[in-house]
């Protein structure tokens, strides 16, 4: 039953708690479980101590203290600056300086000069706060940009609510679900979707600490979030993957899910995974649906309220024919409010007629299905007069039984402009002639101009915390 006015964290409505409508296992994390009433009481206690602050930093470790700190800030209307726990000294100093964070809330690095406000797990307060303005900035998330220092993405409460509600519709996400994931709590995927989603809809959350196949299989949830690396490891353990067949929905994001992994998961679990697309600046704008088609290598259609378009290098429309590549631009109610302290960077990312330039390139078919080719700066390869998507070549390479991982880049070439180079992690010892075999394999499935001109074998590919390959480090 509804209780009072709408809230961003609707399941933590004080009126519902006072009426005895509790959720005993609202959040399980760090081997600790907290009920809805206890989470509300402890987070409100935090809110009382920080209510006069504007912005505070939270060392976003996967712990109950982090959850309470974040919820306390949202109750008080204080902006949260999540800081990756593995960030280096220089990165951390930049985030604190750029954000203007006034204190650490909860655990803090030993070398900090900021005041530290403790988060007490057993403190309780039942003070009631008015819901902050939907336009208020809830989070400043720092992107791991490919150039320069990370930029602070400002996300409002209203944008977060709109983004989560659009996903609830696409995924049929309700309080009957139990969400399971082990993702970091300093990005959109783990923090906004993975923590605020359950607290908005009232679905219990089980955070596994680390996203291991064993932990996922043992959790017994109905809704699972994972990045491709997680799903790949699960697909390699059939007996554990089969346990996830009991779930209602398996969602993959933060990087493209290789087609072979998609197909293996489908075979082992009896259901095709849901893929979606988004970024810190936009949250999730595209997704396949719980009740719709799930096509390997494609991320579905716009969620509620979102519009998309493709533009070529001259700014002209690109046809939705399923093959033509264009720069992806989006509009929607879940988009960010700009980069903190970066008005010029903010302006550069928006068109004159109000569309956000994602920096990604994509194709759209006649039915509105989207396939992300990759980043315009590194995944759109211009070779011999052709425009080639690195992701298309990577998908074919991953279909070869000898290939465990693949990343394709365009490197400078005096003749072609850029030559296609594939970095490959093999499943076993590299045999003589495997490079030529892979080149022929790609040429047999794609056009000749899309074949790699060079295959380089590596022990591993450089990835960030969300599993995305750092292609700037290849070459």
pLDDT single digits (tens) 126-162: 999 999 999 999 999 998 654 567 899 999 999 999 9
Residues of each domain in the chain carrying CATH 3.30.300.30: 380-473
pLDDT of residue 12: 92
Is the pLDDT assigned to residue 1 strictly greater than 60? Answer: no
Q: 1-376 is classed in which CATH architecture?
A: 3-Layer(aba) Sandwich (3.40)
**Is a pLDDT exceeding 90 seen at residue 180?**
yes
The residues pairing with 362 across neighbouring beta strands, listed in sequence order, are: 326, 372
Instruction: Give residue 238's pLDDT band: very low, low, confident or very high (50, 70, 90).
Output: very high
Q: Max Cα separation, the chain?
A: 73
Q: Which residues contact 315 (CB under 8 A, 6 or more apart)?
A: none
What are the helix (H) ranges across 202-289?
A: 213-219, 228-235, 238-243, 259-269
Interacting residues of 189 by C-beta distance below 8 A, sequence separation 6+: 183, 225, 227, 253, 254, 466
Residues 305 and 166: beta-carbon distance below 8 Å: yes
Map tokens 């605020």 to a residue: 196
- pLDDT tens sequence across 440-469: 999 888 878 889 999 999 999 998 765 678
What is the reported pTM?
Answer: 0.86
User: Phi/psi at 467 (nearest 5 deg)?
Assistant: 90, 5
For 475, the token pair is: 């070459």
Provide the pLDDT for residue 144: 67
**Residue intervals in the chain for CATH 3.40.50.12780:** 1-376
Report whether CATH 3.20.20.120 matches the domain 380-473: no
Q: How far apart are CA 383 and CA 254, in angstroms?
A: 27
Sheet holding 205-207, edge to edge: 32-34, 27-29, 205-207, 179-181, 223-226, 249-252, 274-279, 283-287, 301-302
pLDDT at 88: 83
Helix (H, G, I), strand (E, B) or coil at 16: helix
């Amino acid at each position: 039953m509804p209780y009072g006015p709408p809230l961003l964290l609707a399941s933590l409505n004080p009126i519902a708690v006072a009426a005895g409508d509790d959720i005993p296992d609202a959040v399980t994390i760090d081997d600790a479980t907290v009920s809805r009433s206890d989470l509300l009481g402890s987070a409100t206690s935090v809110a009382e101590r920080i209510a006069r602050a504007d912005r505070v930093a939270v060392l976003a470790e996967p712990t109950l203290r982090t959850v309470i700190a974040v919820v306390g800030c949202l109750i008080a209307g204080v902006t949260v600056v999540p800081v990756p726990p593995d960030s280096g000294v220089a990165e951390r100093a930049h985030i604190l300086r750029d954000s203007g964070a006034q204190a650490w809330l909860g655990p803090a690095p030993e070398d900090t000069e900021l005041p530290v406000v403790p988060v007490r797990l057993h403190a309780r307060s039942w003070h009631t706060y008015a819901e902050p303005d939907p336009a208020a900035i809830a989070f400043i998330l720092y992107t791991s940009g490919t150039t320069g220092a990370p930029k602070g993405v400002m996300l409002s409460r209203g944008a977060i609510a709109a983004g989560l509600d659009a996903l609830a519709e696409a995924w049929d996400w309700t309080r009957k679900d139990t969400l399971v994931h082990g993702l970091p709590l300093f990005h959109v995927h783990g923090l906004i979707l993975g923590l605020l989603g359950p607290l908005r809809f009232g679905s219990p959350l089980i955070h596994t600490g680390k996203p291991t196949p064993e932990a996922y299989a043992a959790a017994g949830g109905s809704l699972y979030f994972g990045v491709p690396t997680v799903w790949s490891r699960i697909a390699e353990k059939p007996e554990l993957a089969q346990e996830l067949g009991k779930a209602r929905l398996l969602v993959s994001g933060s990087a493209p899910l290789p087609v072979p992994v998609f197909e293996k998961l489908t075979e082992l679990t009896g259901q095709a995974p849901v893929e979606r697309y988004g970024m810190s600046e936009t949250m999730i704008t595209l997704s396949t649906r719980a009740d719709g088609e799930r096509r390997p290598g494609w991320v579905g259609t716009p969620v509620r309220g979102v519009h998309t378009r493709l533009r070529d290098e001259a700014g002209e429309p690109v046809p939705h024919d399923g093959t033509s590549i264009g720069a992806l631009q989006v509009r929607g109610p879940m988009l960010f409010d700009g980069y903190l302290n970066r008005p010029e960077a903010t302006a550069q990312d928006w068109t004159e007629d109000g569309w956000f330039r994602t920096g990604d390139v994509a194709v759209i078919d006649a039915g509105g299905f989207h396939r992300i080719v990759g980043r315009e700066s590194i995944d759109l390869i211009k070779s011999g007069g052709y425009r080639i998507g690195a992701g298309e070549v990577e998908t074919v390479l991953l279909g070869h039984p000898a290939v465990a991982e693949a990343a394709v880049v365009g490197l400078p070439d005096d003749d072609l402009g850029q030559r296609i180079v594939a970095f490959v992690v093999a499943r076993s010892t590299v045999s003589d002639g495997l490079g030529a075999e892979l080149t022929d394999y790609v040429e047999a499935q794609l056009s000749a101009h899309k074949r790699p001109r060079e295959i380089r074998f590596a022990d591993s590919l450089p990835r960030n915390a969300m599993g995305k390959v750092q292609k700037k480090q290849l070459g």
